[in-house]
Every structure is written in structure tokens, then in C-alpha cells.
Amino acid sequence: MARRDDPVVIEVALNGVHESNAELVEEVVAMANEVGRRIATPAETAKLFGFPRA
């Protein structure tokens, strides 16, 4: 079970058009903050998805 302070990958279906990926990211970050979740760091995300280290 995930702890409250663990990073989370949020899967969402958003309606509407976003001007940029940055706008979409800002919306998802706001949603995560509203429910008390933090955003994974780039290193945490790479580990979660099994990306090779640079």
C-alpha cells in the first residue's frame, strides 16, 4: 500500500484543449496538491518506469 508521501503517477482523462504540455502538467500538479500528494522527481520517475540512468 502506498504511503501518503510516496510519489504517485496520476492517470487522468481531462476534457478540453490545453495550449501546451506545460499547461497540462500544471493542471495535474494542482490536482495532486489538492489531494495532498507530491509529484515524483525526475529520478523517481525514471526508476518507476525502469528508464536507464543517464
pLDDT at 17: 67
pLDDT at res. 26: 87
Predicted local confidence at residue 36, as pLDDT: 92
Question: What tens digit of pLDDT does each residue of 1-54 get?
Answer: 445 555 554 444 555 666 778 888 888 888 889 999 999 898 998 998 899 876
Burial of 38 (0-12, 13-18, 19+ CB in 10 A): middle
Number of domain units in the chain = 1
Q: Which domain holds residue 15?
A: 1-54
Task: Specify the pLDDT at position 21.
Answer: 81
